[in-house]
Structure 1
Amino acid sequence: MKYEVTSLNTKKLFAEALKNLVVQKSFSKITVSELIRVCNVNRKTFYYHFTDVYDLLKWTLEQEAIEVVKKFDLIIDYEEVILFAMDYIEKNSVFLKNIYDSVGRDELKRFFYWDFIEITTSMIKKVEELTETTVPKDFETFLSSFYTEAIAGTLLEWIVHKEEHDKQQVINYISVIFRTALPASIKQYTEVQK
């Protein structure tokens, strides 16, 4: 147990160093050498925990945002999830904007995609349970991909242009879609297939 705590603390040390460096300069210019110097550890320690700086970035984003989102009951708390994600973006706006500028929209979306598809798939399964319906795996995969693209795209838009959008209005729009469109899509699909 002590080893796991030490390992987690070391990862958090690297994550904090990464966030501090990205605020100062482009993500693409950050090196492992710089990170180990800032953290005062050896190269072997970094590579024990991460394969490269991108792996550290992915871990950082997962730990700070995505793993927290997964703990919510997405059917009941989806507005809180959206608010949490948007608050996270606001609090880390310089960090995320610099990441966006360094790696580009598609690369940053790739970081979010695989974690968010797991979240949306879970949400779809819960809607199926609540509506007492089941859709085929291919339609479930399509819906997961569709909603993941929408969520990732909306969050990326918020990173770059948050000052142009009213946060509460965005939350309301997303809420309406989750509350109505997802259950309606599942219900409609099952009715058409009968």
Structure 2
Amino acid sequence: MSEALITKKAIAQGLKDLTLAKPFGKISIGDITSACGLNRQTFYYHFQDKYELLSWIYYNEGFIYVMDGITLENWHEKLKDLLDTMKADQEFYRNTIKNDDSYFKEYLLEIVSTLFYEAIDKLDEDKSLSDEDKKFYSQFYAYGICGVVVSWVESGMKEDTKKLSDKLKGLAQGSEKLGYEIYTNR
């Protein structure tokens, strides 16, 4: 592991440790550097601000694993893995998403929108949908899933991760087909 990666992980752990006792919005760069035993210059060498650090943590501890090998057939399993990761570190995710959910949603929306676009494209065998329509429908489903995941976090992550990912899979499959049939039969 490179020295830069070791340093980034130490900074990330410093932030994660702080979120156990302090709201993310009240954590300063000074707090983070003190928690991990580094100086401000080292922090700024690796990250612009705490929001870039937050995005780095979301990506490197969760989304990178979700995106690796994700398919239309296994997306719900990958989502379950992400939910499990989040639940294992739930105070960090609850604290940071509660402060500002846009950083988390940005990654999740990108992944889910792409998957639904591919699914809708495969269902559109006679190519009757425009690219614009496919993007609209895929974003609709992606926002729904993101909303459910954020709500799950905000309500304390009580529901079982497998149960939640299976519900989302069933809902997505049913509504994809229904939506496509309604649109093509009008």
Which TM class, normalised by the smaller chain length?
A: 0.7 to 0.9
1:122 corresponds in structure 2 to 114
Shift of 1:7: 2.0
Supply the distance in 2 between the matched residues of 1:177 and 1:76 (Cα, whole angstroms).
14
Instruction: Mark the runs of 5 or more structure 2 residues left unpaired by the alignment.
Output: none
Deviation string, structure 1 residues 49-73 (Cα, Å, up to 9, x no partner): 2111111111111111122111132
Alpha carbons of 1:171 and 1:117: their partners in 2 closer, same or farther (altered >3 Å)? closer
Once the two structures are superposed, the pairs formed by residues 53-92 of structure 1 within 5 Å of their partners are: 53-92=50-89
- Counterpart pick for 1:27 among 24, 28, 47: 24
Shift of 1:27: 1.1
Q: Which amino acid aligns with 1:28?
A: G
Alpha carbons of 1:116 and 1:144: their partners in 2 closer, same or farther (altered >3 Å)? farther
Deviation string, structure 1 residues 123-156 (Cα, Å, up to 9, x no partner): 1343245334553232233223212221221111
Moved more, 58-67 or 33-42: 33-42
Alpha carbons of 1:78 and 1:133: their partners in 2 closer, same or farther (altered >3 Å)? farther
User: Is the CA contact 1:117–1:144 (under 8 Å) kept in the aligned structure 2?
Assistant: no
- Counterpart pick for 1:111 among 90, 103, 109: 103
Residue identity over aligned pairs, in percent, reads 25
- Counterpart pick for 2:141 among 147, 154, 159: 147
Shift of 1:77: 0.7
Alpha carbons of 1:49 and 1:163: their partners in 2 closer, same or farther (altered >3 Å)? closer
Question: Between Structure 1 and Structure 2, which shows a larger proportion of helix residues?
Answer: 1
User: Is the CA contact 1:121–1:140 (under 8 Å) kept in the aligned structure 2?
Assistant: no
Moved more, 13-22 or 112-121: 112-121
Moved more, 39-48 or 24-33: 39-48
* TM-score, normalising length: structure 1: 0.81
- Counterpart pick for 2:171 among 177, 180, 184: 177
Alpha carbons of 1:123 and 1:133: their partners in 2 closer, same or farther (altered >3 Å)? farther
Give the CA RMSD over aligned residues.
2.4
* TM-score, normalising length: structure 2: 0.84
Supply the distance in 1 between the matched residues of 2:132 and 2:32 (Cα, whole angstroms).
43
